[in-house]
Structure 1
Amino acid sequence: MSLQVKGKVQQILKAESGVSRAGKEWKKQEFVIETDEQFPRKVCFTLFNDKTSLIEGLSTGEEIEVSFNVESREYNGRWFHNINAWKIEKPASENLPEPPPEFSVGDIPPEPADDETNDLPF
């Protein structure tokens, strides 16, 4: 199941790392956004291992769109949930190229001098 949500970055939490029982190193990074809905909600997303680089360059207050999966697992009779982000994008309005430079009167080329070689009827 793949879902998307838009919102503003509220908080970027401290990165964590460790070693699993199997001896593999892992790292995770969590961040919180506030949604753009009529009743805004705060949602905490988790990035694992190589996906932690997706949060680099973002700062609080930035508008983003997050693609994520929801996952649940049982441990000792209790259920735990993860919201795993796998893609972060800035809205298209922020990805537009810079506008062209302003137009000025100096940008207009001079008119050619009147001479007999101009065969236009007007």
Structure 2
Amino acid sequence: MEIQGKIKLVSETQTFGNNGFRKREIVITTDEQYPQHIMIEFVQDKTDLLNAYQVGQTVKISINLRGREWTNPQGEVKYFNSIQGWRIENLQTEQSGGTIPPVPPIEAFEPANDLNEEEHDDLPF
């Protein structure tokens, strides 16, 4: 699955337990009639994928939905879902240096009033 949106937050990498489990979260805001703020977690070596991204960038993230069951100390069974990212792409196009500059409005140009077509006829035919 994929989700697109603008980055609202990129958290720092968190490390848990003796095994060094790493997790990093990103929040993106979707661009739809009712925008949603979706938190996606990247784990282990995937946390480094977020280093190149900043708040405000528009991205597409490939995700997996994860679910787990947990029994609390009172014996009640609870279920939790998470959204786990495994790839992220920048959707903003970079402006290259070879782009054509915008054309000024016509009011910025002076009219050419001193043209005499008979004197300036240098066409070869």
TM-score by length of 2: 0.69
- Aligned partner of 2:11: which letter? L
Unaligned runs of 5+ in 2: 72-76, 101-125
Matches within 5 A, 1:63-74: 63-74=58-69
One-letter code of the match for 1:8?
Answer: K
The alpha-carbon distance between structure 1 residues 80 and 94, as it changes in their structure 2 partners (threshold 3 A), is: same
**How do 1:1-122 residues align onto structure 2 when only pairs under 5 Å count?**
3-19=1-17, 23-76=18-71, 77-91=77-91, 93-94=92-93, 98-100=96-98
Distance 1:16 1:99 in 2: 39
Equivalent position of 2:119 in the other structure: none
Deviations, residues 49-96 of structure 1 (Å, cap 9, x unaligned): 1000111021111100011000100101011111000000011x5257
- Residue 101 of structure 1: how far off its partner (Å): 6.7
AA at the equivalent of 1:53: D
Query: How far apart are residue 46 of structure 1 and its match?
Result: 0.3
The structure that has the greater radius of gyration is 2
CA distance in 2, matches of 1:64, 1:101: 23
5+ residue gaps, structure 1, are 103-122
Match of 1:119 in 2: none
Taking only the aligned residue pairs, the percentage that are identical comes to 26
Q: Deviations over 1:4-59 (max 9, x none)?
A: 1110000112321022xxx5221000010000112110100000010001110211
CA RMSD of aligned residues (A): 2.1
